[in-house]
Every structure is written in C-alpha cells, then in structure tokens.
Chains A and B, each alone.
Chain A
Amino acid sequence: MSLVEDPKGYWTDLTVAEKGVTAGVVLFAGALLVSLLTGGLTPTYFLYLVGIAGMYALLSLGLNSQWGFSGLINFSVAAFFGIGAYGTALASASGSPIAGGLPPVVGLLAALALAAILALFIGIPTLRLRADYLAIASIGLAEVVRLIVLNQDDWTNGSAGVRGIPSFFDGWPVLGTFPETMPTLVFGSGPGATVLSTSFWQALSNVALVLAFVGVSYLVLRRAHRSPWGRVLRTIRSDEDLARALGKNTYSFKMQSFVLGSLIMALAGVFYAHLNLYVSPGDLDPITTFYVWVAVILGGSGSNRGALFGGVVIVAIQEGTRALPLDAAPIRLLAIGVIIVLLMRFRPQGVLPPQRELIWPGTVDETPQQPDSGVRETKAGEK
C-alpha cells in the first residue's frame, strides 16, 4: 500500500506511534520552516544542523546494525567515530603530523581501512563475551583508543588536534569549486535580508555529501536486514544457542555485523572531519557513544527508520538546549538521562519498533489465500 496511490489507507494502516511520530515530524519541519522564513534561523546554520543530524543518523544506523540486528552491546561508538575522523584528517589535512595533503577520497579509504582494523582488533577478543561483559570491555577499549589518540603526539598532534582539513570535495572537477563559483544571492533588503554566500553553498555541498552517505548506508542496511544474512543476525539476537544449533557460525556472523556497523560509524567520522575542518581528542569522548545509544533505543532497536528519527531528536536536544538561558551542558545531560530512564521504564522497545520493515515487500498483500496446487477443493468426507 503506497502513500501515493492510497493516502487515506496508508494513514489508517499506521500504528498510533507512527501517526504520532509523523505528526511530530510534520510539526517540527513546519516550525523549522517558519523560523527560516522569519529569519530566526539562518539558512547556512540550518544546513549545518541538517548535516549534524545526518551524522547522528549515520552513527545510529551503524549502531543499529550491531545492537539492533545482532544484539551486540557496543559501547565503543565514539572510538569508531573518532578513528574515522582522525583517519581522514591525518591523510588529507595540511596540519597532519604523518601524511597530509592527500585527496579526501584517499582519506575516506584510509579511515574505513583503519576502522575495519580497529573493529577486528576490538571484536576478536570481545565478541565471545557475555552481553554485559562486552559492554564493559568495549567501553574500556574505546578509552584505550582515546588515550592513545590523546597521548601519541607524534602521530596525532595530541591534545592540539589536527587542523587544516580540506572540505571533502576539494580538488573534484565541478564540486570542488562549486561554493566559490555560485553567485551570492540576496533575498529581501536591509539588515534583515537573507544572503546566500559561499558559506551557504559550502554547507549545501556538505549536506549533499551526508545525504549520499546516509542514503547508501540506509539502502545497504535495509537490503541486508531483510536478506538471509539479516535473518541469521536476528536469530542470534533473540537466541544465540538456537542459531548455533541450526549450524550457523555465530561468532563469524557477529563479527561481520560488528565490522559493518563500525564502517558506517567511521563514515560519520569522515563526514564530521570534513564538516568541522578540525578534529581533536575531545571528539572521542564517551558521551558521543551514549548520544548514539539514546538515538537507537529511542527510535526502536532494530529499526532503521527509527535510527534516522532518533538521530534527528538528538540534534533537536543538542541545539534546543543551546537557546536556554542556563548552562546548556548539564541540561542536555539531564534531558538525555531522563529520556533513557523513561524509555526503559515505559517503552523499552522504542518509539518506532520495527513493524513491516522486516517483511519482504509484497509478501503480505499478494500472498494467495491457498497454494496453487496440492490442496483439494473439498475436504474428505464432504460432498
């Protein structure tokens, strides 16, 4: 049942939570549009927020493919995010202490390679552990990674961070010079005029980049989740002994899902480095891990669209608290804490738990009432 053919039927088909979220998203988008039009939010900053939301959505998709698909409690999200950001920064930045000056695409590949190595390095010892031990071990190893990044000055510049990261499209045929070649547009006049200058076009190209990352990851994960491979992961999540009894090498499947998720997290890090143009060890702070966890359990563990939704909510919390007159950091922390506790108390499955997205499309509506052959029209004994 698609939205275009039958909007009314589509709406009545949704669960209460889905209706609520849809209404909330529409209201939120409306509020953003109003503040954009009234000048409360500049277009450039709005695009920056879209970029950050995309980044959190990527991180959530990555964690979802570990926790949501196969039930791995990975508390080292920040380490993979950081290794992605540092990987591309060290390869492409002018201020890099080891390589530097390479094209950002090389940085992307370097970051993904580093993340895959780190995933194996963390995964090989820890994925055999019991669920709660995995949580503790992974956060411990993430701290080890952070301490190495902080203290190995000769590789990472230490606490000074890495400066001089180019934008991702730097050196590309058309996109590389796109922000500079676009004209400066002015809407309205006087001090309230909206000016779309180079920084706006720069932000626009960043948003295009993150949308591409999110889109590709989303499609890959959706396909993977429905595939036989995804079914094995879901079996592992609900009963690992059962999966093993069915002859599946659960350790290998868990490792594949761990590496896949880690690569997506590193992708978020790559985007962040080219958005912020500066990375520092502070980006590996464990708080990032918990933000992403909130996004995933808020959206609904195992649900990819839930992960997207959770990512947007995190950015709304982060930026919404900025407007308050109080110190934003503790308020943000309080909001995150309260959300976690309320969710676990009242709705541990999340706001948008997986519904139809686990079912191959077409199998519901088009299933015949009875098989084509092998079924008699009348039962034995009936006339």
Chain B
Amino acid sequence: MVLDQLASGLVYSSIIVLGSIGLSLVYSIANFANFAHGDTMTIGAYTSLVTFGAIGGLGGTVLGLPFGFFVALVAGIAMAALVAVVTEKVVYDGMDLDSIGLLIASIGLAFIYRSVVQLGFGAQSTRYGIQSLRPIEALVPYGIRVTQHDVAIVVSAAALVTGLHVLLQYSDLGRKMRAMADNPDLARVSGIRTDRIKLWTWVIGAGLAGAGGAFLGLYSQLTPRMGFNLLLLIFAAVILGGIGSVYGAMLGGFLIGMINQLTPLLSDIGIPIGIEYANAIAFVIMVVVLLFRPSGIAGEAS
C-alpha cells in the first residue's frame, strides 16, 4: 500500500517537477510570478494531442508508448516554447510595469491561452488515442500498481531534468543564465546580452512545461483547465523549494508530488484528513513556508 503510493507519488512528482522548474526559472530571470505557466502546460498537452492524432503511432513502441507519441511530445515542447517566446516579444517586452503589473498581465494571458484551447476542443475532457495499460505484472505482488506509461513519464522527466542540469552547469548559456538570475544588472554590464538570455529562459521554462503538460495528459486526461488546476500546486512546489533556485524547484516539486499522493496515509495513522484535502495540505504548506522561511528549503536564509 505504502509502496504503491510512493510509486504514484514519484510519477506525479515528475510532472510537477517539469512544471515547477520553468516557473522558478521565469520567476528569477523575468522577475514575476507567471500565472500563465499552468496554461502553457495545457498548450503543450493539446499540441501533443493534435500531433499524435495527425501522425499516428509510427510503428514500434517503447514502454507501451508508440514512437509517434514521442514525436508529439517534442511538438508539444516546441509549441509551448514558441507561444512563450511570442508572448514575451509581443506582450511583456513592451510593458513598462513592476512585477505586480506583469503578474496581472500574466493572468490575462492565462485566460487567453485557456479560452483558445477551449474554443478549439470544447470544455469536455479527452485522451490520447493510446490504449491504457494494465499494471506491470512483476510489481503487482509487492502491491505496486504502475503501468509502463508511468515508468515512461518518470524516465523521460528524469532525462529532461538531467539535460537541464548539464546545460546549466556546463554550457555557456547555463553560466549566463545563472549569472543573470543572481544579479541582472551585473550580468548586463559584464557584456551578457540579457535580452537573449531572457528569451532562452522562456524557451527552456515553457518547453519543460509543455512536456509536463503532455505527460499530465497521459497520466490522467486532457481538459482546458488541466494546467490552471495544477498551477497552485506548482507554485507551492516552487515556494517550498525556494524561488529562483532550479534545484530547489526540483526538490520542492518532488516533495509536493509525494505529499499529494501520500495523503491517504494520514487517515491510516488516525489523522482525519481525507484525500479530498490533498491539495489543501500543499497550499497550507506553501503559506507556512512563505511565513517562516520565504527563501524556501534550498534558498539561503536571509
């Protein structure tokens, strides 16, 4: 029972981690809380849906997923990144606002994204045309009920996160991004083209969100509200990890996903809080962290 919840916590965490990294990157480099981030995930999911519908399975499968799904995943990532870049260029770039003004503008953008998706696909839920699988036989005796799809989500998320880690630590772009997150003015006078770095931040953040959205659609289903509904959990993850810290966002995303899926254990040990309050627990944790340690668990205490 516990093992099963840990396993499903790991799968859910993977999706939240993909979302929270992008939110944290944008928070530190563009310097505002992006409320459109959840709907960027929705865009990724629906782009994958359309692409997969158009190209089909393309022959073989990996971990129960047709090759075509991975092509669709890349399309979802690309579309989410493209939308973010166009938004940055068209909307945010010309705004002369403080972080609060940008936050409010991002709410407007969130509504625009969601309404476009809803106009195209309706409000009802839908799924990819992929057969859902039975749990992996070998693990069922241990009480773990995960499908190959779940494994694919965790492995793909791990690959993306590792790629990001390599990029941030060892590439020129990564060093510049870290410099800019640390001190934008200093980065600028050092000759870093901060505008360009900002665009790359949007590409990476929104791309990861697009991947998270595509996996969220595979994990449960696609609805126009899917990203918005997850947004607050992602905020909780980012704040728990420490705003601006990518590794904090990973840790925060992991913890929030785990706590969310482990909520049933509370009733087992006699605390009368049911799974319907799983999200509420995360929000309360978020507020407590904001109050007592606003720099998060990975940030430096100030």
A residues near B (Cβ < 8 Å) are: 73, 125-126, 128-133, 135-137, 139-141, 143-144, 147-148, 150-151, 290, 293, 297, 326-327, 329-334, 336-341, 344-345, 348
Give the shortest distance, in Å, between A344 (CB) and chain B (any CB).
4
CA distance A357 to B214 in the complex (A): 51
CA distance A61 to B4 in the complex (A): 50
Residues facing A in B69-104 (CB within 8 A) are: 91, 94-95, 97, 99-104
Chain A residues, Cβ within 8 Å of B239? 133, 136
CA distance A130 to B277 in the complex (A): 27
Chain A residues, Cβ within 8 Å of B115? 330-334, 337
What are 20 A-B pairs at a CB distance below 8 A?
A: A125-B291, A128-B291, A130-B294, A132-B32, A132-B33, A132-B100, A135-B33, A137-B287, A140-B286, A141-B283, A151-B276, A327-B118, A329-B118, A330-B114, A332-B115, A333-B115, A337-B110, A344-B102, A344-B105, A345-B105
CA distance A7 to B119 in the complex (A): 47
Q: What's the count of A-B pairs with C-beta under 8 Å?
A: 127
User: Top 9 closest A-B pairs, CB basis?
Assistant: A340-B108, A337-B111, A140-B283, A337-B112, A334-B115, A330-B118, A333-B115, A344-B105, A341-B108
| In the complex, B209 has a CB within 8 A of chain A | no
Q: In the complex, are the beta carbons of A133 and B94 less than 8 A apart?
A: no
Give the shortest distance, in Å, between B172 (CB) and chain A (any CB).
31
CA distance A137 to B105 in the complex (A): 18
Chain B residues, Cβ within 8 Å of A337? 107-115
Q: In the complex, are the beta carbons of A338 and B108 less than 8 A apart?
A: yes
Q: In the complex, are the beta carbons of B287 and A125 less than 8 A apart?
A: yes
Q: In the complex, are the beta carbons of A143 and B95 less than 8 A apart?
A: no
Chain B residues, Cβ within 8 Å of A141? 283, 287
Number of interface residues of B (CB under 8 A): 44
Give the shortest distance, in Å, between A295 (CB) and chain B (any CB).
13
Q: A130-B294, A348-B97 are in contact. Are A293 and B107 (CB under 8 A)?
A: yes
Q: A137-B286, A140-B236, A327-B122 are in contact. Are A132 and B103 (CB under 8 A)?
A: yes
Q: In the complex, are the beta carbons of A144 and B116 less than 8 A apart?
A: no
Among A131, A150, A333, A338, the residue within 8 A (CB) of B100 is: A131
Residues facing A in B258-302 (CB within 8 A) are: 274, 276-277, 279-280, 283-284, 286-287, 290-291, 294
Among B114, B232, B236, B290, the residue within 8 A (CB) of A333 is: B114
Q: In the complex, are the beta carbons of A129 and B108 less than 8 A apart?
A: no
Q: In the complex, are the beta carbons of B116 and A334 less than 8 A apart?
A: yes
| In the complex, B202 has a CB within 8 A of chain A | no
Q: A129-B294, A137-B290 are in contact. Are A341 and B112 (CB under 8 A)?
A: yes
Which A-chain residue is minimally distant from B236 (CB atoms)?
A140
| In the complex, B123 has a CB within 8 A of chain A | yes
| In the complex, B46 has a CB within 8 A of chain A | no
Among A140, A329, A341, A348, the residue within 8 A (CB) of B235 is: A140
Taking A143-B279, A337-B112 as known contacts, 7 extra A-B pairs with beta carbons closer than 8 A to each other, sorted by chain A number, are A140-B283, A140-B286, A330-B114, A331-B115, A334-B115, A337-B115, A344-B105
Give the shortest distance, in Å, between A237 (CB) and chain B (any CB).
11
Residues facing A in B213-264 (CB within 8 A) are: 224, 232, 235-236, 239
Chain B residues, Cβ within 8 Å of A126? 287, 290
Chain B residues touching A, majority SS: helix
Chain A residues, Cβ within 8 Å of B91? 341, 345
Q: A125-B291, A327-B122 are in contact. Are A348 and B32 (CB under 8 A)?
A: no
Chain A residues, Cβ within 8 Å of B235? 136, 140
CA distance A80 to B181 in the complex (A): 37
CA distance A126 to B289 in the complex (A): 11
Chain A residues, Cβ within 8 Å of B276? 147, 150-151
Chain B residues, Cβ within 8 Å of A326? 119
CA distance A140 to B289 in the complex (A): 13
Q: A136-B239, A136-B286, A327-B122 are in contact. Are A338 and B101 (CB under 8 A)?
A: no
Q: In the complex, are the beta carbons of B104 and A297 less than 8 A apart?
A: yes
Q: In the complex, are the beta carbons of B119 and A330 less than 8 A apart?
A: yes
CA distance A340 to B105 in the complex (A): 6
Give the shortest distance, in Å, between B145 (CB) and chain A (any CB).
26
Chain B residues, Cβ within 8 Å of A293? 104, 107
Q: A132-B33, A132-B103, A293-B107 are in contact. Are A143 and B232 (CB under 8 A)?
A: yes
CA distance A340 to B107 in the complex (A): 8
Which B-chain residue is minimally distant from A71 (CB atoms)?
B100
CA distance A329 to B123 in the complex (A): 9
Q: Give the interface centre of B99, B108, B114, B236 by most chain A CB atoms within 10 Å.
A: B108
Give the shortest distance, in Å, between B268 (CB) and chain A (any CB).
19
